[in-house]
Amino acid sequence: MHGDLREFAQVVAAHERAHVQFLRKVLGPAAGPTPSFHFGDATGDARQFGAAAHQLENLGVAAYNGQGAKLTTDAMMHAAEIVSVEGRHAGWIGALLGEPPAPRAADPGLDASAVMAQLKATGFLG
């Protein structure tokens, strides 16, 4: 990978690591175990990487949005700090792929079971 896609991967990887640290700190003992991901060929080819990143960033936004009604005011504040960045990630990778960076006026939310089903369907979750 090189150019804009490489820059995206480097910046977003650092953001995602920071998100994990932030959430682990906020959730404390309530944080679940770290999931195991296996991206296989999706990381070896720029086109496949872009498609996987686009799918996962948009799924992340839907996951955060889907949990909004279940959150306390304090938890909502923390989630909003991350989902806004996830939305920018989704727009950035979409633009790199030639997709509209903001195809809708509002992003729908998905409940946890729908998010997990979509995540499992990717084959990335170990």
Between CA 62 and CA 110 the distance in angstroms is 5
Domain positions in the chain: 3-20+35-122
Q: What is the mean pLDDT of residues 48-69?
A: 95
Q: What is the pLDDT of residue 1?
A: 66
pLDDT over 90 at 126, yes or no: no
How many C-beta atoms surround the C-beta of residue 61 within 10 A?
24
Using the Cα atoms of residue 68, residue 70, residue 72 and residue 75 in order, give the sign of their dihedral: negative
Between CA 72 and CA 88 the distance in angstroms is 24
pLDDT 10s digits, 89-119: 999 999 999 999 898 999 999 999 999 999 9
